[in-house]
Amino acid sequence: MSVVNIPDAAGKILTVQEIDGRLYPRFDPGVLRNVPSLKLRDDDVILCGFPKSGTHWLFEIGRSLLHGKLGTDVKPKESLFVDMVPESELNKVDSPRILNTHVRFDRLPSDVKTKNLKILYVRRNPKDLVVSYYNHTHGEFKDYLPLFSNGLAYGSWFEYVLEWEKIIANNQELSILDVAYENLKEDPIQEIRRLSDFLGVQRNKDFIEEISDFCNFSTMKGRFKDKMGIKDGHNIFYRKGEVGDWKNWFTVAQNEWFDQLYREKMADSKLKFKFTLNED
């Protein structure tokens, strides 16, 4: 394990650590190293996504569907965040659990693959993601674009999504639901119904509508405002919740630079990301 300091122009430093050739935030290395060997239950679901892809949102929807009720006094996503929470604590949580992680596919608990557990995978367009990431960690926005291209905590977004594209295409035997943040935003009812079918819980139309309301951005932000994730007076988990906010942050030159980078890195990919709402 070694510590890597990525300096930004404002003199702040994003400190990450390298473990077995991968970058991670400075969580307990023992916990991170234990993730591949976590013992899972047959009814566990695992939620995967690069940081800032909308993982809290999907967690909340998934939990409501699995439990069949809307919970206000329930354990937050963080209590099932396997990158940080020791196995002994995860074991205390009642089933059904939605474990969640940002680690790469090859570091997922091997039980996920051998037991063929359900995997929820969420992805988000990288322009909104980098804005969200910047607002989570702060510093100088302009420094986040090169950082993003080289890899933030959890490494490169490009490598992350390209790997998942291959995994989904080449592993038909795995139960993976691919959810795009932008689709969830455009048509939450349809996406929640798809999720309900995938989880095999068959919730009815009224309940799906209730979940959609219960998990919309302002309701969730209100519910979690006093709990956690408040940094310098800002809510870093429930900030704006929009598609296309990147237009308020990117200069024309930054946007051109980013588009070029995207074209290069994604040249062999069939993945489509929506950068504005209701885009084909």
Our finding on whether 210 is near ligand A3P (CB under 6 A) is no
> What 3-state DSSP class applies to 119?
strand
> What 3-state DSSP class applies to 74?
coil
Instruction: Pick one of 52, 107, 118, 123: the residue that binds ligand A3P (CB under 6 A).
Output: 52
Which range in 47-55, 92-100, 145-153, 172-180 contacts ligand A3P by CB under 6 A? 47-55
Among residues 102, 136, 138, 234, which one is catalytic?
102
- What does the per-residue mask of binding to ligand A3P show for 155-174, with x meaning CB under 6 A? --------------------
Residue (42 or 140) nearer to ligand A3P, CB: 140
| CA-based end-to-end distance of the chain | 44
Alpha helices in 102-246 (DSSP H): 110-114, 126-137, 141-150, 157-170, 181-186, 188-199, 205-214, 217-224
Our finding on whether 79 is near ligand A3P (CB under 6 A) is no
Our finding on whether 78 is near ligand A3P (CB under 6 A) is no
Residue (41 or 231) nearer to ligand A3P, CB: 231
Nearest distance, CB of residue 49 and ligand A3P, angstroms: 6
Instruction: Pick one of 24, 57, 250, 258: the residue that binds ligand A3P (CB under 6 A).
Output: 57
In contact, 156 and 150? CB cutoff 8 Å:
yes
67 counts as catalytic: no
Nearest distance, CB of residue 248 and ligand A3P, angstroms: 11
Site size for ligand A3P (CB under 6 A): 20
80: DSSP letter? G
Nearest distance, CB of residue 16 and ligand A3P, angstroms: 17
Angle at 257 between CA 180 and CA 133, to 5 degrees: 45
Angle at 200 between CA 197 and CA 205, to 5 degrees: 50
Sign of CA dihedral 146, 59, 237, 240: positive
In contact, 96 and 43? CB cutoff 8 Å:
yes
Our finding on whether 240 is near ligand A3P (CB under 6 A) is yes
CA distance 253 to 195: 39
* Ranges within 215-234 binding ligand A3P (CB under 6 A): 215-217, 220
Give the footprint of ligand A3P on this chain (CB under 6 A). 51-57, 128, 132, 135, 215-217, 220, 237-241, 245
